[in-house]
């Protein structure tokens, strides 16, 4: 046996002594193993089988009512020095963190099975992929990790070959919110999560490994681990440009990743290909371009709002072989959520009670579906390419009801990093806490960056070096509202109009108007055929409110200053340049 497998076995033994499970099961990822686990969960009520004729091989899982979202206030980055974690993270000294959470793990698996899950984030044969092992007492986690990662024997073989892996220890514990922690130890490539069965807290390959730990690995190894979708846009000439786009959770990543072009675009030959909807790992290739993989093998998507209008590809993906979490049920056991718009009505709510709209919504606002990416009609086989796909553009965006126009392009890489670093968005139900509050969410990584944001921005800036062929950087805002409180931009498939302009800018032929905040589409440069946008919409979607932006950049100054002397001086200098343009009299 290799020294790596020796080390893995010793770790499993150590965990077993601490948690005292009734039995240990090493997961191989096989169909037979999955069938046995599913049968077990059906028998004990963990999973409810859905209507086999309408949703074959699909199940509903109901989580504890107080365990329905990420818990950022209980999520810690545990580095030897607090400054390395930064003000963007909750910090705890590693020794204290281990002691505090290990006390909770003591004996927590008595009477339960300890599952050992070897997994690979990314295509199993890609040099860009990274492996991990999650230990858990939750068969629901095993079933989801099988969908979301390359899990089982092949991953274990790669771990043995590479000699390194991320260690993740998870237990649902008592599902007591007072006894719940998600701890990250970047220097040790270790994750410990206790007291939650919710996806982002329990599927440790996802946010914990693929973002918090991987962002630390990426900085050390010269790449980027980002909270971004990846899509390909194929034009009528058969050329495909790949775009990576960062939006906070529940802000439309999945909808954009699976976008269906409007009818006129489809008839002209435009196609959109889905690589990934949530996480992007990218690094410079030998030619100086960024190449990216989706480290995940599945989608853990937000169900509410998913409909034949908003995302027909997502709806088609979840018609079979899907695990739903915290959705409602119709009388004939079909999944139901707000916004599905299929003419059916819910009978049972997400807590298993008869549906009463006066008591609670049928589906939890953060209810989810877990399904293999390969089930998506727009899935691209390039997602399995071990080399990754070349990235032409990086797009940032959040929910901003006011101020921010539909789209603008950064002047250069440094300006683009500032655009991402200062990005703001209104909060959603994907995390606990108030909804609709505007907060800074740099690169959509506020809950996920595993180290000090000041160092993270410096890492982004470091890619601008001789020989680099960096992606162009853009910012979009699908969520601008008019004075009546309604959205001004139709969104959904029509977002391809914006992507077309972005690709045109990359290709060098789309026209732009230079403004103090960046390059906006020149009049007529963005295809608006068939849309009826009134004067207010045109003004707010394509205009620059100088007074509002001056106030925004004053606020950004304070935000950057919060990170102290570690903040790269280039960003404050870039902020000052933009502010000077805003107080000037010309457009630029």
d(CA 85, CA 83): 5
- For 218-256, b/e burial (b = at least 16 CB within 10 A) is bbeeebbbbbbbbbbbbbeeeebbbbbbbbbbbbbbbbb
DSSP class of residue 73 equals G
Contact 274/231 with Cβ under 8 angstroms?
A: yes
Please give the Cα distance from 22 to 399 (Å, whole number).
47
> How many other CB atoms are found less than 10 A from the CB of residue 136?
27
- CA nearest to 295, candidates 430, 130, 147, 169: 130
User: Which of 27, 108, 251, 449 is labelled catalytic?
Assistant: 251
Separation of alpha carbons 432 and 70, rounded Å: 6
263: CB partners within 8 A, 6+ apart:
none
- H helix or E strand, kind and range, residue 113: strand 113-121
Using CA atoms, how far residue 352 sits from 335, 390, 550, in Å, is: 12, 46, 50
Report the C-alpha dihedral over residues 367, 370, 375, 380, rounded to 10 degrees: 100
- Pairing relation of β-strands 190-194 and 181-185? antiparallel
The whole-angstrom separation of Cα 496 and Cα 70 is: 31
Cα-trace Rg, the chain = 23
Query: Phi, psi at residue 569, to the nearest 5°?
Result: -60, -20
Confirm if 246 and 398 have CB atoms less than 8 A apart: no
Q: Are 407 and 521 in contact (CB under 8 A)?
A: yes
Look up tokens 């553009």; give the residue.
393
- Is 251 an annotated catalytic residue? yes
| Angle ∠(69,344,301) on CA atoms, nearest 5 | 30
Dihedrals φ, ψ of 63, to 5°?
-90, 170
Task: Work out the widest C-alpha separation in the chain, in whole angstroms.
Answer: 74
Pairing, β 166-171 against β 190-194: parallel
In the three-class reduction of DSSP (H, G, I as helix; E, B as strand; rest coil), residue 145 is classed as helix
Helices (H), 118-252: 139-148, 153-162, 199-202, 214-221
Rounded CA separation 398/405 (Å): 11
* Active-site residue list: 251
């Amino acid at each position: 046996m290799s020294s790596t497998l020796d080390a893995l076995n010793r770790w499993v033994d150590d965990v077993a002594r601490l948690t005292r499970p009734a039995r240990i099961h090493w997961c191989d990822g096989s169909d037979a193993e999955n069938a046995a686990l599913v049968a077990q969960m059906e028998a004990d009520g963990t999973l409810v089988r859905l209507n086999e004729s309408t949703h074959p091989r699909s199940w509903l899982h109901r989580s504890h009512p107080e365990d329905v979202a990420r818990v950022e206030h209980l999520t810690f980055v545990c580095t030897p020095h607090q400054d390395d974690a930064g003000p963007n993270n909750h910090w705890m000294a590693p020794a204290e963190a281990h002691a505090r959470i290990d006390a909770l793990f003591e004996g927590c698996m008595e009477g339960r099975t300890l599952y050992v899950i070897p997994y690979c984030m990314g295509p199993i044969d890609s040099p860009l992929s990274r492996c991990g092992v999650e230990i858990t007492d939750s068969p629901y986690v095993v079933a989801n990790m099988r969908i979301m990662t390359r899990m089982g024997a092949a991953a274990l073989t790669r771990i043995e070959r590479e000699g390194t892996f991320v260690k993740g220890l998870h237990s649902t514990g008592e599902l007591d919110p007072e006894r719940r922690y998600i701890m990250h130890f970047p220097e040790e490539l270790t994750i410990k999560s206790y007291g939650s069965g919710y996806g982002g807290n329990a599927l440790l390959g996802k946010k914990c490994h693929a973002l918090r730990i991987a962002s630390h690995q990426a900085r050390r190894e010269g790449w980027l681990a980002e909270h971004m979708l990846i899509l390909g846009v194929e034009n009528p000439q058969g050329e495909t440009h790949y775009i990576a786009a960062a939006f906070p959770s529940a802000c439309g990543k999945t909808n954009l990743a699976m976008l269906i072009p409007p009818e006129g675009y489809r008839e002209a030959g435009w196609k959109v290909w889905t690589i990934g909807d949530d996480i992007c790992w990218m690094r410079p290739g030998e030619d100086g371009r960024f190449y990216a993989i989706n480290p995940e093998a599945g989608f853990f998507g937000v169900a509410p709002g998913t409909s034949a209008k908003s995302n027909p590809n997502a709806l088609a993906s979840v018609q079979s072989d899907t695990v739903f979490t915290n959705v409602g049920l119709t009388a004939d056991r079909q999944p139901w959520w707000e916004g599905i718009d299929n003419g059916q009505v819910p009978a049972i709510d997400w807590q298993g009670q008869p549906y009463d709209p006066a008591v609670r919504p049928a589906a939890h606002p953060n209810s989810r579906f877990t399904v293999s990416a390969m089930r998506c009609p727009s899935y691209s086989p390039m997602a399995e390419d071990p080399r990754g796909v070349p990235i032409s553009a990086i797009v940032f965006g959040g929910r901003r009801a006011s101020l921010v126009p539909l789209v603008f392009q950064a002047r250069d890489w440094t300006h683009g990093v500032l655009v991402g670093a200062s990005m703001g968005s209104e909060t959603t139900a994907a995390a606990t806490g108030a909804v609709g509050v505007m907060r800074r969410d740099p690169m959509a990584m506020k809950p996920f960056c595993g180290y000090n944001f000041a160092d993270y921005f410096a890492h982004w800036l470091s890619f601008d070096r001789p020989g680099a062929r960096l992606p162009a950087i853009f910012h979009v805002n699908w969520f601008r509202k008019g004075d009546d409180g309604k959205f001004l931009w139709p969104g959904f498939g029509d977002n391809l109009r914006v992507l077309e302009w972005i690709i045109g800018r990359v290709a060098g032929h789309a026209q732009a108007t230079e403004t103090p905040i960046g390059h906006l589409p020149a009049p007529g440069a963005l295809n608006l055929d068939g849309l009826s946008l009134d004067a207010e919409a045109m003004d707010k979607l394509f205009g620059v409110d100088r007074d509002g932006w001056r106030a925004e950049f004053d606020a950004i100054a304070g935000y950057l200053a919060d990170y102290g002397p570690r903040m790269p001086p280039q960003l404050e200098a870039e902020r000052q340049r933009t502010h000077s343009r805003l107080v000037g009299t010309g457009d630029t």
